[in-house]
Amino acid sequence: VVSFDIAPKPESASEDSRIEYIQGDISDVAVVKRAFAGVDCVWHIAAIVGPFHPLELYRKVNYVGTLNVIEACKQLKVCAYILVQFSCRCTYSFRAK
């Protein structure tokens, strides 16, 4: 199992030797391809969620990052690609009573 995340390996992470932790940015296709080298399946769960981030960050992670994951899977001939992404950009408004 390879865990690929922009965040460093948590101190509380499992020390199981079957888990490899790779820190990298999903918006960098070369880094994504290096992380995916030799894998059989990709579960893509990276996403920026909630209404409080700059629009550019949503585009960089949710759109460009997803395109990079798809491209890396195609180039590396990863057989299974599972997208589990829940993301939204919401606007909240409140009316005074």
Q: What is the pLDDT of residue 48?
A: 86
d(CA 96, CA 94): 7
Closest CA to 88 of 52, 51, 53: 51
Contact assessment for residue 36 and residue 80, using Cβ atoms and an 8 Å cutoff:
no
Q: Which helix (H) or strand (E) holds 82?
A: strand 80-83
Domains observed in the chain: 2-83 (3.40.50.720)
- pLDDT tens-digit readout, 52-85: 889 899 999 989 999 999 999 999 999 877 877 6
Question: Which residues on neighbouring strands pair with residue 23, listed in sequence order?
Answer: 5
